[in-house]
Structures are given as structure tokens and as C-alpha cells.
A and B are shown apart, each in its own frame.
Chain A
């Protein structure tokens, strides 16, 4: 066992309001400068949708992440070292600016300084922030917001293509069938980062002390293999410096004991930051399990229980200070991933062992508009079953469990059971342990989880 610590994040998508405050505060602080106009270390996508950059989840197109070879060995999907070297100068797996979007800017001071005698009020026209030429705005960092244009584009969402045919056929871009949720994304700071492995210059590395994945700006030679290899497309090219840049997990803040900007400014209060311990020696095996449905459990198994005396002893032996041990023990991320098991990794099938996990969203029932029958007489039975939800469980499964529907459904059932349990507590003060049958949690655990998800004080989130 080789114990390591990782600063990890959980986002509760069930609370995400899609406001993009995280994106704006991140961009204002880190990437509002020449060369990074199109870069959003943090972005928020509307799902279903093709995302930013377009279709980034389609690894048949981009060859990001890892796969198992014929012998069951883990290898980069972008090919072996030789293949990658041969493509140093022509990389067909590199997104173009159009796959992101051409950033626009607007005429300078025409409103204030318009000359006299115009026929009409002055107006600011869009111009390319890259070339300065007039342009038409045809795509953006968040073009699909709130399902804008979804009936034209979103069928190309790779997650729909991967769904079982019967379920995919139920996804229709019609008013009555509408569903949506938001997916905020930063760098996953993976335990098994494809970008680091793909870098020919050794410029990318995973920080020893906290697992943050960084690009050494001095060493980067701009080969851009990292951009291709990252299946989440969270490494960007600064077109002014020619070097790769990415989310740094706000390391200057982390080092000062402050949460990342995207976390602290998250108005939905849905982000949790914490330390998890893991066994570095177990990473390769976990990333290499044959059945994609086993990846979730395999990855959970890599994490070490910070309350386990043996783990703590190992951590001390590895030189971790006491306050890191304490932080790991009270880590909300650990609790959500490993204790309550309500957080799931994004696309575990990429085999990078991502370290930003997500609690999947509930949603209204599908029959609300149609008003299909249920027992209307019992006014106390106010909640629906999770099988009636508008967001297809199969869709969520493609995002978070490599298609394992039961695993996602299990999480949603926990959230639903928590709500019913707490409704009884709130309305009548009664303890309805029977509601917890089938989710494998005790009343105390549910109430503790409720406090973490609902009351979610600042000190509990970070």
C-alpha cells in the first residue's frame, strides 16, 4: 500500500441551478487575458446536449482517456508512445476553435463617441476577439443553455447514442418530454490522468502532496497531446503563449487553506471539497477492471478509510501531518463517496479515475403534463417514485456509471427516501425507519446525510 492524499470535489447536481457563477468568478480570476478568451477552466453544460467543446464525450472521435488492449492492459486510447510521437506535428484528434467557439468582442466606444447626424442610434457589432474582423455569433461557450436549439443539436449527445436503444427512443425533443439538468465541469484531477501520460515533454504532473494536476509552463513545449488525451477536454491551449493551461484547483488558495473559487462562490452551495486518502498501488488495477460496470466499485475500493487505524498509521508513516489526517476524517467528499455512496464519478469508463464526483439529479415526474393516473385520493402521499422521473435513469447511467442503471437508481432512491423520511420528521416528528428499507442506511445516517446536503454549512462543505 502506498498511501496518498488527494484534494477532491463532489458536486451535487440535484442542487445545481445552472447559474454559471462558478464559471464567471473562475474566468474573472484566472482566464480573462489574451490567449485564453475561449477558455473556461470551469464551465456549466445543459444536459442533454453536446457540451463544450462540441461532442467532447465522443471518444470514438477524440480518442481521449484510456482503454484496455486485447490482453486487458491499460493503454491510452490515443495510442502508444510511438503513435503519439508520429503525430506531434499533425494531430487529428485536436479540437479546432470552432469545436469550442470563436470568441466575440464588441466595438469599442461607438456608443459614447458616435458622430453627429447618424440616421439611427449607434450600435455595437460583434467582432472576433481573435482577428478583430466583424463576425456572426454562431456558437458559444454555453450555446445550449436551457435547451436552446436542442432539437437540432442535442440528439448528437454521445450519451444518448450509448443508451440502450429502447430507452434512447424515449428521449424526444418535444415539449411534453422535456427534461434538463446542468453539469458544471472543471478538471477532474484524475488519479490516472491521461493528459500526464500523454505529455511528451514531462510538463504535466500530478502534485505529490495533494494530487492537483498541473502544467509546468516552463517545460510545456505546446505539443498539445494533453488536449487530445484528456477525455474531458479540460486542458486548453493558450493561443498567445502556445502552451497548455488548465484548472489549477486554485492551488494558491488551497495552499492557504481556502476553497477553490468555484466552490466558495457556488451560489447553489452544491460543491464539497475534501481530502481523500487512496492507495496509489491500487490505481492501475482499479483502472484496468474488465467490466465497465465494476469500475465504480473498483474506484471506491482504491480509497482508504481515514477512520481506519491502520490507514491512519500508514498516513503518518508517509509523513502526513495530523491536521491532514483530521481533515481526511471529516472530509465531506469521503462521506459522500464512500460512506453514503451517493456521489458518482463522471464517465468512469474513461478509466482515468476522475476526482470530481457528482450526486445525480432528481427531476419532476414525466406524467405531470399528461396527468396520467395515480392515487389522487391520498393527499398525504405527495412524492412520486423515482421510476417516474423525467430524466431517464439510463441517461444518467451513461454519465456516471458506464451504463449501470441500478447503480444510479440506487442513489436516486437514497435521495428520495431521505426526503420522505425527513418529511415525516418535519411534519409529525415521527421516525419512519421503514422508509429506509432497501437503501441500506440507518435513520442516523440519513439525518447526517441530510444535514450535509441540506444545511451544508460552510465549514461542512470545505
Chain B
């Protein structure tokens, strides 16, 4: 092809009968040549919350961006593998439309009524903070602007005016209520790290609260912390190529992993078998060899049945050395678990046996297994008890020495007992029932113990020998969990098909040594009980030795969570160079309380409890479990107390006691209350909310109508009734009048007008992804690469980075007279990957409020950490790398690295601050410098840092790691490198896999190959999870939990009443948008249906007389949606889809049902909080930001669909 350019003859050839051949005649084609002409090509990417992170060439002509095409120069994957080029998708290809779109925000906007009052106040009072107080302290004035949210009337303002107003609000709130009432939300740092860091650093230095996203989005697979003690780690897309059996489970790869899908289609040609598990004929089904279509939300039953087949055929009937070797070494299956007697006198599982039970000192976190050769209990290396402290140095590893862990006690014991195991497929409550099955037991001291392997065999219903209990008669037994026939009743998937796929999966893993892969997606994850579903999936890959093997294991792709240069990203974003920690907050409980969704709760917490539980949640509401988890120090609760933390330190100083003593004393006396016990107290409201890189009110806000009513104070389409007295929380104050309009200031920073912007008080214009400096990574590919400005931002738009610097400067100015230097006190939860994990041996819960123990900060309640804040220096600190790094270095996943050399490097690379108190510090004055700092401080992008981290890891584990970075110790990736082309990252202890020698990244290969423990109680991958709250829900072992029965709790919302049909309401990810982004893009609107749609099956549509493209309404107690129907036979009966997230800004008429503008998909949802996601304080179940916390699930909901009047009004 390349030769074509040389073959341009000019010769006219005549008509050969039918066809006119000729060379160019005249210059008519100049038009097309001119269209193709351009002045400049600039490399950038798209910072939307997708996992693409694709490199794009942006074409510029006459100073205008014309179009974008994908770059094709990714570093090679090697001669025998497909390359990453040309990553991209139609959404990204249409991005340049936004540059000049009518919805582009080009200037700062303030709602007119608010602007007028502020201008008036400023003129009268002369002080911006006083002017703000004058508005928000006056109920009439406050009502006047809050009631206008979402109703138009923006006026333009200058940057000076608008930063003054926002800064005044933040200073006022900090001074009056506390800095923790100043809240920020911005998701997914990986999608543009400097932009994220700008705002988070601002909030960190202020003392503000930063909200999480990964759990809130229900993208966090809670099973990952539970099983691995790891947030999420997954293979890059290029590793699919190495799989020889690939199951797509709830992941619609062509639609949601568009740039990566080719690895799937190509791997098939290499002989990889592909299976699709999807309730609808999704786009990915086309690429499968087999399609399994379980009813939505029943995936866990299918996976449990496959596990039943695997355990039966590959562990019981036949032994596969590869599998047994793997599970002995790398899973908790050999470990011993104690049994307890339930209130009814039956036996049930309790906790891991520990070295303390054997009489060892400091043995509470050392777990025990039996050596098959001796039959004796032994304490192997690698458990949590070896992770911290000097005694464990060199012993935190998976080296078993001469020990051969016994896989089950059947051959070692003559004794067996019947135990009760949880099942959730039957029963009168969500808590289900139990089934009795026998396990072999031995006695260790006073304890009756069995092994996790024996428990798993019992749980899956695999009968061995003459063990007592209720066992299936065979695969075809439809009654006994978890047989193939049993799952067929639940899922609709034919039993032989389920069995065959399970068998093929394991057999492939046996032949390929672990190259069976499960690609998991939101379709399986975003359910209330997703953790249980995922545990049933992950069991399949751990039983078959696939995890930690290239081409095998799990591949959870939901959210662009992987900021590869994570150390620099976290330390810079959270201002850990100045102070530690910052106020991190799990969003789901935050919004559950602060948008008053808890006031509408009808499901009591103990509804979820298993009969195996002890009644721990009896009389409690979900809100009570939130309050309990926060007061016990498991899960963060911000604001923490109903008093300003800046005042608490002053009070302590006056009283002459430490602030810790002061707070404990005040709490015990009842004079100070945790926020969670009275979220409707005006002292506890979140007052200021700043959103950037986010669309909370147009995309992610589950329970949108409750946000509108309680947070913003405007009309809402929710019709749900507040809960009856018997459903009210036990420990929370119930105020008869629910507050509305809790928020004083909503600031939205965006380049386009979204539903969030429409409801904000202030909208600030920002640079697009083609107008700023930043860096991007993803879990899907192993590169780091850049955003670069192709043009300047238009109008008054600035980058996020510059916006937050300006805001920080203005706060610093105002602080001189309002705040000065203050001492703050943070209530911080017990933290994962720190010795805090040792606070609660065996996960035994003690509640100080119930008198079960004393409130001890950092042990039975949150840590209380004092931080001095000089509010006059926030702007200066934003611009400089802080002093704490010199003293403490960096710390990621418990590995500390001295970064003196990096600070010195940054002084040269970035230049230094030239004056003021921080003169001489490395400069962070611009976004590209921030990028340099992130890259310099991270092991993935700086070989020296990786080497230092591996050195620390070698010391702790006694295992070799340094060779993984050998040859790269002096290599680093700079920001200009990332601007030139995507750069492959280095192997680093920040992550669990190896890229050495051009290897494709797969998680946990270092654990498997280098015997590094997982960050769990045993140091192994877990089937058994211990914690009293987990036990209460009967979830210690994998099991199938069905979707919540919403009809049972809230009533069917009106089946076939007023012509409606009740259906399950699912919100998968869309083909024509990334969340709400691109949904309003005219190219995408042209390729889709031109506005919001709901997909419905042919039979359901027929029931309510709906034809394709009819206007329909979907409603339930939470709200109402108006959309066009897409009727399709690829949809299963009983389920509708509204692809996430259609927004309500384009082609959305008013609803008949409410008379108001139709909603978007989260208008039909409301949060529910799963208590086990709050469980903390112990081993892998300790808190970290976006690592653990209740997920904001939204897939268990139901709705009524009805055909509406076809005449619509906008």
C-alpha cells in the first residue's frame, strides 16, 4: 500500500464498454484534498470514566480542532501477539464535537438570585465571608436561591467574583461548622491524575471531606478485599490473548471494552474457547461459542453449580496434582476453623484457629493448618501475624518448608459432626434458611475444628464417604443446593449445559496449567449481594489454579480504577506530603444519611441475617449499622461529631487535656454526639459540595429524587412514604420534620452543562481533554500517557488545576482575618495495610456504646488525629511539594520508601518555589509539574523507587524480588515522554504482577511465583471470611444470594394497574455514551435513537400495547422516567434496560405521572446499605479509601412500564 503514493500517472483512458477509467481531470478534487489538510497534530486522550485510556491524535486547522483519530504507535506486545493499536471507540472519536458545542460552558455562571444577594451583601458588609453568612443564616434568603436550583436563571460572573464567593462559603463553613462540612467529589484519578489531585489536594489542605467513588459506583468488587485483601487487580487486555478458555460473565466487552475487544476476537483464532453468560443477547454473545442466559441476578447459583461440578470431578472423583498443589499453597483451604454451638444447640462455623489457641504468644493473627505428614497442627509463615513487627521480618512469605498442608481432614479423623450451613434460595426472609451437612473434625485443645476445604465441600454439597447430613442424590437433584439441577430451577440455564461449561473450564485449566479466565463486569457486580456472587466466581478460578497465572484468573473490569503510578498519585492528591491523613469518606453511607434516604427505609437490618446469626442486628435499621461501624472505627463518618473539630481542639486546650481525652470524655458524657446519630441536625449537614470531573446529579446519584428534595431543597418525584415508627432506626434521632436544602453551596466544574450543572449554584468553566496537561492510565493496558493542549481553553475557561489554585489563593487571603492557624482533629478509621489490622482479633466485635468495652481511640473507636492547619498558606502549599516526604518518605501498601533522591530530582526537573515560607521546595505550580511529581514518586514510572520498594519487600518476606526491576533502576518516565507516545510501566511492588521482559500483566503472579502473601489474615486467598458481622449474615463461605425481593418489601409497584407491567429494571453500560458523557453528543444521538430509551422485550411490550419507539413511562416509589421504547426480541421477558446514563438534558419530556421533567435511570433507585460492607477493624476487612465500603448497588430494583400519551410536552 505504501507504494501507492508513487504511482500517479496522468493519462486519460477512455470508456471500455461500461466503465469510465480516467485520471484526474481538472482540479475538482481540491475540495477533498483541502478537507484532509491540517496544520498540527497534538497527542491527547479522553479523561472520561472509561477503561479505554486511548491515545488520540487531535488534528488542528486554522486554530480549530477539526477531528481526532487514534494513535497507532503503542509499544509492541511482541511478534506473536496482537498489538494495542488502534485503541479507541466511536464515543472518543466524536469528542471534538464538544469543543464547539452549544452546551459548552465558557464562562463562570452563578444563579442570578444568589449573585444579587452576594453582591448586595458584599457592598453592605465589605467582607465576603460576612456577605455569605448574611445569605445562608437568613432562612428567607437561603430559601430564595435554593428553591431556584435547576430552574434556569444563570448569570455570568467574573473569575474574581466567583472565586471570592466560593472561597467565602468554604471559609465561613470551616469557621462556623468545621472544615469537614466542606465536601469534594471527583471520581477515578487514573483518568486525569493532575486534575483529580488539584481538587483533592485543596480539600485535604482545608480539612475537607473527600468522597469515594469506586464503592459508590458499585464498581468495587467487595469480594476482592474479602478474598485477597486487595482493592482490585486485574490482567491487562493483552493477557486475554494468553487465555485458552474465556468466559465473559456480565461483561459486554464490545460495548464497554471497545478498544480491547479485538484481543477477544483474536484469541478465538488461537483456539480459545469463549463463553458468554448474559441474560440478554448482548453484543458480546455474538463472539461466544456458547451462550448461557441466566435470569438477571442469579449468576451466583450458576457459578456455585459449576463449583459443585469442579469439586466433584476434579477434587473428589479424581485428584489433579496441579489443582491440589495450588490450593494447598495459595488458598486458605487447608486452614483450620473452629466450630461453635448455635443458640439452638447446633454446630456452626466460628473463626480461624490461631497460634494463640495453641498457646503461642502473639499468636492471635497466626492461623493454623495440619501437616499431612505428621497429622499435627502447624503455624506456617505468611499470615498476618508475621506482617508487622520485628519478629515477623523475613517470615511473611508462603514458603511452607517441609510442611505439606492437609487438604481436608477426612483421612486424618474418625470423627464427624453435622453443621448448619447457610442457604438463601429458600426461607421467609432475605436471611434464608440452613442446611445440615457433615464435616470431619479433630480436636485441638478445647476446640472442635475442621478445615476450610471440608467446609467448602459441604457448602457445595459434594458428598464424601459416609459423612452425615443432607446431601444431593446427584447432579440431577433439583432440591439440594448447589447442584446443576438446583441451579436450573433458579437460573433457567439447562443443568447439563451448566455442568458441561464448569467441566470444560476446569479441564482446560488442568491442561493449560491455569489459563482459564473469567471476565467479569458490571452486569454481575452491581447487585446488592455482588460480593457473594463474585466469591462464587472467584472460587472457580482459585480452585483450578488460574489466579496468578498469565491468561487465567479473574478479570474484573468495572471502572478505571488503576492509577498505575499510585504512590505519587496518592501522596500528591491527598497532600500526604504536608499532613497525614486526609478525611476520606465512603460515599454510600454518606449519601444514605445526608440525603435522608434512610428515612424511607422499610427493610430492617436483621432481615438480612441468617438463622445462623445471633440476632446481633435485631431492632436495628441499616442506619444503625452505619452509626455502629463509624463509632467503632471501622468505616469513616464525616463530619464526625456535631461540633466543629477546630473548636474541639480549642476546648481541650482550655480544659488542659489532650483532644483525644476530651473527645472520649465528651462522648461518654453524651455531650458530644457522632454525626451518624443525628444526621438531620443542622450542625451535621454537609454545607458545601464541589464536584469536578463528575456528574453526581445526572449520572451516579442513586436515589436522585432524594438528593433533589433533601440535599438541594427542590421538588422531587419520589412518592415513597417515610418509614413507620417500627422501622425507624434505634440509635438515630428522628426529627419529625425532615430537613430540605441541607446544602448551602453546590459548585460544579465542567466543560459542558449537565444535570449537575443545571442544579448547581455556581458553574465554573473548565478545559477539555484537548486543552490541558495531564496523565492517564488504566487497568486495561500497561502504559502511561498524556493529555496535551491542542488549543487554548475558550472564553474564560481554565483547567481544573488552575481553578483550584485560584480558589486556594482566595481562601488563604480570606483566612488571614477569619481562620489563621487552627488545630483540627480527624476521626480516622482503622486503616488497611497498617498495624490497625490487628485491632480486633478473629473479627470479634465489641461496641463501646453497648458497654462491651471502653472507647479507646485507634482500637475500639476511630483514631483521633490532630493536625495543625495554617489556613493562610493553603495556596502556597498547593504549589510546593511538602516537608513530610523528607521525614516520612512514601508509604504504599505498608512499604516505606525514602524519596530524598526524588525530591532532589524534582527540584531540578520542576524548579523550586522562589519565595515565601516554602522557598526551595520543588514546585507544583502547574499541572505538568504535578504530573512530573506523580511520575517521579512512583515505582511503576521510576525504577529507583521500584527497586527501593522491592528491597523493603525482600526484607519483610525474605524472598527475592530485586531482579524484577534489574536493568531499570536508573530508568524513569518523564512527562514529556508520556506526551510523545504511551510509555510501558515498570514492574513495581505497588502492584502484584510482573511486566519484566515485555510480559503481559496478570495480577498476583508475584504472589504465586515469589511466595508473597496476600494481604489477608492467612496470607492466602480466602474461601472463609471471618468477622462477627459476616457471620451474622451467614456469609462466611461462598453461597448464592438472590437479588433482593423488592416486591416483598415495598409491594409490587402496580402490576397491570393503569396499564403497566412490572419488570426488573437494569442499567447496563451504554454503547453510545460513557455514563452521561457523549449522551448529548449529536454524533452519538444520530447513531442511536436521539434521546433516552428503555429496552423492553417483545412479550412485555405486547402486554402493555407498546410498539417500537413509543413514548413510555417507568415509575416506582422513587421516581419516574419518560423515554422512548426500544422493543427487541434480544431482551428477555420480565426485564427492561435503561442504559446508564441517559441524563435528562436532551429530548426528555415532562412525565404524566409527576407533571415534572422526566428523570434519568437513578430516578428509580434508592440506596440500601449492606452491613457486611461496613465490617472493619480486622485483617483484610479494614478500611481504605475506595477499598472497602458499602456499594451503591442499583440492580435489584423493579419498575412499572406503561405506555403514555404519545403527545409529549417539553
Contacts and interface: CB of A to CB of B under 8 A. Distances in A.
Contacts of B1: 7, 254, 257, 259, 273-275, 327, 462
Given A175-B1131, A454-B82, A208 B1086 contact: no
Q: Which of B16, B24, B286, B287 has the largest count of A CB atoms less than 10 A from its CB? A: B286
Contact of B19 (A108, A193, A424): A193
Contacts of A382: 245, 273, 289, 504, 508
A340 interface: no
Contacts of A152: 1107-1108, 1127
Given A148-B1089, A261-B69, A269-B262, A321 B1210 contact: no
B1128 A422 contact: no
Interface string A100-140: 00011111110111111111111111100000000001101
Given A23-B90, A267-B262, A456-B82, A376 B500 contact: yes
A178 B265 contact: no
Given A147-B1129, A364-B288, A206 B19 contact: yes
B90 A117 contact: no
B497 to A, nearest CB: 4
Nearest to A325: B3
B81 interface: yes
A241 B1071 CA distance: 34
Nearest to B765: A112
B265 A17 contact: yes
Interface in B742-777: 753, 755, 757-759
A164 B11 CA distance: 48
A138 B1110 CA distance: 9
A369 B276 CA distance: 11
B103 interface: yes
Contacts of B1147: 106, 123-126, 137
B816 interface: no
A427 B271 contact: yes
B727 to A, nearest CB: 32
B68 interface: yes
B770 to A, nearest CB: 13
Contact of A14 (B265, B1086, B1157): B265
B290 interface: yes
B102 interface: yes
A324 B11 contact: no
A455 to B, nearest CB: 5
A422 B271 contact: yes
A23 B1087 CA distance: 9
Nearest to B30: A217
Interface in B454-500: 493-497, 499-500
Given A18-B283, A108-B102, A113-B154, A123 B1146 contact: yes
A15 interface: yes
A137 B1089 contact: yes
B83 A458 contact: yes
A264 B86 contact: yes
B67 A25 contact: yes
A315 B542 CA distance: 61
Interface in B1123-1167: 1124, 1126-1133, 1144-1150, 1156-1157
B1088 interface: yes
A208 B19 CA distance: 11
B1053 interface: no
Contacts of A458: 72, 83, 85
A140 B1086 contact: yes
Q: Which of A20, A23, A174, A257 has the largest count of B CB atoms less than 10 A from its CB? A: A20
B8 interface: yes
Interface stretch (A89-97, A196-204, A296-304, A399-407): A196-204
B312 to A, nearest CB: 13
Contact of B26 (A117, A216, A368): A216
B517 to A, nearest CB: 14
Nearest to B5: A257
B413 interface: no
Interface string B23-38: 1111011011101100
A149 B152 contact: no
B952 interface: no
A267 B258 contact: yes
A140 B1087 contact: yes
B864 to A, nearest CB: 43
Given A209-B9, A321-B6, A111 B86 contact: no
Contact of A371 (B13, B496, B1071, B1124): B496
A205 B20 contact: yes
Contact of B93 (A204, A265, A383, A384): A265
Nearest to A421: B271
A106 to B, nearest CB: 6
A364 B289 contact: yes
Given A27-B1083, A204-B20, A327-B3, A267 B259 contact: yes
B153 A115 contact: yes
A141 B1087 contact: yes
Interface in B992-1048: none
B87 interface: yes
Contacts of A424: 271
Interface residues of A, number: 149
B1156 A264 contact: no
Interface in B71-95: 72, 80-83, 85-90, 93-94
A29 B35 contact: yes
B740 interface: no
B1146 A124 contact: yes
Given A121-B758, A141-B1086, A426-B270, A380 B1145 contact: no
Interface in B406-460: none
B29 A450 contact: no
Contacts of B269: 415, 418-419, 422, 450, 453-454
Interface stretch (B105-113, B190-198, B643-651): B105-113
A146 interface: yes
A208 B1157 CA distance: 59
Interface stretch (B205-213, B622-630, B817-825, B1090-1098): B1090-1098
Interface stretch (A56-64, A245-253, A305-313, A437-445): A245-253
Given A123-B1144, A456-B82, A145 B1071 contact: yes
A108 B753 CA distance: 12
A457 interface: yes
Given A117-B152, A122-B152, A146-B283, A254 B67 contact: no
B67 A28 contact: yes
Contact of A119 (B151, B258, B511, B753): B151
A371 B758 contact: no
B17 A284 contact: yes
Contacts of B512: 427
Contacts of A168: none
B534 interface: no
Contacts of A251: 29, 32
Given A106-B1146, A149-B1127, A456-B82, A253 B70 contact: no
B285 interface: yes
Given A123-B1148, A268-B262, A112 B4 contact: no
Contacts of B104: 112
20 contacts: A7-B1, A19-B255, A109-B102, A111-B1145, A116-B148, A118-B151, A124-B103, A140-B1089, A147-B1128, A151-B1128, A197-B18, A208-B12, A208-B22, A253-B36, A321-B6, A365-B290, A370-B494, A379-B503, A454-B266, A454-B269
Interface of A: 4-5, 7, 14-15, 17-21, 23-25, 27-30, 74, 103-109, 111-126, 137-138, 140-143, 145-153, 173-175, 177-181, 191-193, 196-197, 202, 204-210, 214, 216-219, 248, 250-257, 259, 261, 264-270, 273-275, 280, 283-284, 319-321, 323-324, 326-327, 361-365, 368-371, 373, 376, 379-380, 382-384, 415, 418-428, 450, 453-458, 462
Given A17-B261, A175-B1133, 4 more contacts: A112-B109, A321-B3, A327-B1, A420-B271
